[in-house]
A and B are shown apart, each in its own frame.
Chain A
Amino acid sequence: MFYREAGDFKTSYQSDSQTFPIKFDRYRYYVVLVVAFGIIPFIINDYWANSLLLPFLIYAIAAIGLNILVGYCGQVSLGTGGFMAVGAYAVYKLMTAFPEVSMFIHVILAGGITAAVGVLFGLPSLRIKGFYLAVATLAAQFFLVWLFNRVPWFYNYSASGQINAPEREVFGVIITGANAPAWATYLFCLVFLTLCALIARNLTRGTMGRTWMAIRDMDIAAEIIGVNPLKAKMTAFAVSSFFIGISGALFFALYLGAVEVGEAFGIQKSFLVLFMVIIGGLGSIFGSFAGAAFLVLLPVVLKVVGADMLGWPTDIVAHLQLVIVGALIIVFLIMEPHGLAQLWRVAKEKLRLWPFPH
């Protein structure tokens, strides 16, 4: 009833190939945009921004990036934490070296630098496949973290070995450092998330996305019908690392403010983002959002319910969280290997027929 193609006639090529061809999807998208840009910035406060919204926005960017690599191109990567660290350190070096340049440019440049590093570590994927590749990307993870820990140039020879985000402005509003207002950091991240999601959505339904999916489904067959595996895999690594680099840059500059590389961008981060992609749904942009929202919300909900309402000690809550996350991943893989995105697809199928059963 609400969700259907029937009666929605397209009269131009432009409207036929738009990002959301179905009316319901399009209006939903506009509503979400209006709420996110027009309403939330006015009611946001520090608690909501720091515990939910900022991590959600930033992890969603990382999840979209990883989803392009794992979900669309089929190359499993456990190096996400390392690549996020590249983004963070790149933006730190840029911020401190060119204080007068806009943060927008810095963050995008940081993404570009990460893309270059990603391509470098992606090169072995031409020879190595499956598990072997997953383990090979661990090399990137451990090597990069070690590099940022051991080479003082990366953290500007600071005594603690940490990097701290200096105060920077965009259009006269402070967006990094301790004095940044919540709405400004929120909007800055939101702009990047919206851009990334739009780019990703349109890349994945174009030529490039189709070559990625061909490689994912069967790389040898894809090669035989004329897909260039070098080009497909390298573009997937580049685009994916670009997004992950942006998210790493935002994670450091806007969210944490101060970073110790082994702690913030360790192997646990790689797994966290991978879980977001699995729980959300492999090969779905919406799934990346859903997975990020789910895994950002879960610890907060557990903490509120377990520690604040039931009064359990925090260490028990922390352990329970491990148990629940682990169990959820297993349950999801058994019941719904395609993740939350598949549930959404089923719901839309139901909406299409509603109120009739068949």
Chain B
Amino acid sequence: MSDQLIYATEVILNGLMAGVLYALVALGFVLIYKASGIFNYAQGVMALFAAMTLVGIMNGQVPFAHLINATFGVHVTHFGWTIPALLAILLTMGVMILLAWAVQQFVMRHLVGQEPIILFMATIGLAYFLEGVADLMWGSEIKTLDVGLPQGLNVWIDDTTYGIFGYGFFIDNLDIVATVIAALLVAALVAFSQYTKQGRAMRAVADDHQAALSVGISLNFIWVLVWSVAGFVALVAGIMWGTKSGVQFSLSLIALKALPVLMLGGFTSIPGAIVGGLIIGVGEKLFEFAVGPLVGGATENWFAYVLALIFLVFRPQGLFGEKIIERV
């Protein structure tokens, strides 16, 4: 194999891994969109919120410490204990479920039957709100998140590929773990929606709200459930991205990265989110590798959007989306 080809292969592999992470975020969007027709812009901020809460709980930070200190003139920062990662994850999941309930109770319930674009804008408002709350609760400084996932160069792959090609591939352990977890998550979600009662109810709601209501499914409960599941996906995504690049504001911007993934894959399809993520991941890495140096680099900022834009002109519903039928 020529050098260029080997480099390109490594780029593609890394792109696939990045794509899995994009797909993980996109998955949260698809879940909510399918069940309630809401395009949840706040998904990225939910991931940030989950990651910050996880770090905060693990370190035993006092929530709203900054605000309490400013209001009462005291000086508290930490409870003085640390909590093991697994327990902290469970606690964070509890917070996310609470959040799901609050969103349903205070926001979405009052917006039933509004136009989709109004709902979309409401989730933008929610994103701002959550971001502010997360910053107030846990402080806005960059935090490191370590729940014990392996990180760094995978030596085995490096050695093996060196033995075969004479060039070691650089692949992060974390990316491999993320891939495995994403695969498990998708399998679990599919199993959940196919084989459990709640999962079936969820699909029924996605299919037709009124029909679901008339056979006795509680829409309220299903929506809380869907937002909780989305919160869980956000938590997983938050852990992955947070471990990779630190828990900070830019984490919430992965929501924007997930948008072109969704457009490629179609808003309503779980496999679409995965395939779309992989295409975007590989596409932007390859484009940066091949064309980036010619035009000044950092093409990753826009490549995904432009690819999705061009793609949509030819297939407006995405790869796996349901055919859009419009009637007057």
Interface residues of A (CB under 8 A from B): 76, 124, 127-132, 134-136, 138-139, 142-143, 145-146, 149-151, 218, 220-221, 224, 267, 271, 274-275, 278, 312-313, 315-316, 319-330, 333-334, 337
Contacts and interface: CB of A to CB of B under 8 A. Distances in A.
Interface of B: 39, 66-67, 70, 107, 110-111, 114, 116-118, 120-122, 124-133, 135-136, 140, 256, 259-260, 262-263, 267, 295-299, 301-302, 305-306, 308-309, 312-313, 316, 326-328
Contact of A316 (B67, B110, B260): B67
Contacts of A320: 132, 136
B70 A326 contact: no
Contacts of B302: 139, 142-143, 146
Nearest to B305: A139
A129 B259 CA distance: 15
Contacts of B306: 139, 143
A146 B301 CA distance: 7
Nearest to B103: A330
Contact of B313 (A127, A221, A325): A127
Contacts of B133: 323
Contacts of A151: 296
A25 to B, nearest CB: 29
Interface centre among B267, B297, B328 (most CB of A within 10 A): B328
Given A139-B305, A333-B118, A132 B263 contact: yes
Given A124-B309, A132-B263, A138-B259, A326 B130 contact: yes
B256 A131 contact: no
Given A131-B39, A135-B262, 11 more contacts: A127-B312, A132-B312, A142-B305, A274-B121, A274-B124, A278-B121, A321-B132, A325-B125, A327-B129, A329-B121, A337-B114
Contact of A322 (B121, B131, B316): B131
B305 A134 contact: no
Contacts of B136: 316, 319-320, 323
Please report whether the interface of chain B is mostly helix, strand, loop or mixed according to DSSP. helix
Please report whether the interface of chain A is mostly helix, strand, loop or mixed according to DSSP. helix
Contacts of B118: 333, 337
Contacts of B114: 333, 337
Contact of A130 (B116, B122, B125, B313): B116
Contacts of A130: 116-117
Nearest to A126: B313
Nearest to A74: B117
B125 A333 contact: yes
Given A150-B295, A224-B328, A334-B107, A326 B127 contact: yes
Contact of A326 (B128, B260, B298): B128
Q: Which 8 A-B pairs have the closest CB atoms?
A: A326-B129, A322-B132, A329-B125, A326-B128, A323-B132, A139-B305, A150-B296, A142-B302
Nearest to A76: B117
Given A76-B117, A326-B129, A316 B70 contact: yes
Given A127-B313, A319-B136, A326-B127, A138 B66 contact: no
